[in-house]
Amino acid sequence: MKKRETARTLDLSTEARIKQAARAVFYRKGFAATRTRDIAEEAGINLALLNYYFRSKGKLFEIIMLETLSDFLANIRGVINDESTSLECKIEQIAAGYIDLIRREPEIPFFLLSEIRSNAGVFFERIPIGKIVKSSVFIRQYREAAANGKIAEPNPLHFIMNFIGMILFPFIASPVLKEIGSLDAEAFDRLMEERKKRIPLWINSLMKPT
């Protein structure tokens, strides 16, 4: 059906190459700023093929967006509803899991936040992230720990802002941080690797009652 004869580096079906290219360009520039011609060039294909395989720029974007969001949430859904692990364990798993995921695709956090921002209503209708988080085992465990005096901050939202912020913010602000720290891509990546282990420690000391 699709050609798959050679063993070249980019030996993908045309459809897959377009999707891969679209993902890269959309991640980098966002929906509004990318032109279909950018995607075609990145994919090394003819512009008309984009519309042949995916009806329109918007349809292609929607596919990329939903796949990305789905991957992003898949990473967390299992962890936060595991009855057999402690809060501390979940924190370690989430930090490590997300940092590993994002190190492979560092543009994802900014991309997702950017596009959710410009279309919030639509996304929260499709993906009820509020329900997912609020009804999670994680939040229940957090509230229990706070009620038992094991955690100082009773509001889980402050916790989420601090914890998820520690994970995502460096990637979101990476151009500025690289400039401030004179970091190349590898040095930045090493810092993120360090944070995998340190964020749980920081979070732990930050949550302790004084």
Q: Which of 66, 169, 185, 189 binds its own copies (CB under 8 A)?
A: 169
Q: How far is CA 45 from CA 16, 17, 31, 107, in A?
A: 11, 8, 20, 24
Q: Which is nearer to DNA, 3 or 104 (CB)?
A: 3
Does residue 87 bind its own copies (CB under 8 A)? no
Instruction: Enumerate residues 6+ apart whose C-beta is below 8 A from 128.
Output: none
Spell out the long-range contacts of 156-159 with Cβ–Cβ below 8 A and sequence spacing 24 or more. Answer: 159/207
Q: Which of 10, 11, 181, 193 binds its own copies (CB under 8 A)?
A: 181
Q: Which of 36, 81, 114, 162 binds DNA (CB under 7 A)?
A: 36
Q: Which of 12, 47, 164, 183 binds DNA (CB under 7 A)?
A: 47
Yes or no: say if 161 and 140 are a contact pair by the CB < 8 Å rule: no
Neighbours of 27 (CB within 10 A): 19
Q: Which is nearer to DNA, 49 or 139 (CB)?
A: 49
From DNA, its own copies, none, interface partner of 37 (C-beta below 5 to 8 A by class): DNA
Does residue 104 bind DNA (CB under 7 A)? no
Does residue 37 bind its own copies (CB under 8 A)? no
Binding site for its own copies (CB under 8 A): 29-33, 110, 113-114, 116-118, 120, 124, 129-130, 133-134, 153, 155, 157-158, 160-162, 164-166, 168-170, 172-173, 175-177, 179-183, 191, 194-195, 198, 202, 205-206, 208, 210
Binding site for DNA (CB under 7 A): 1-3, 14-15, 34-37, 45-49, 51-52, 55-58
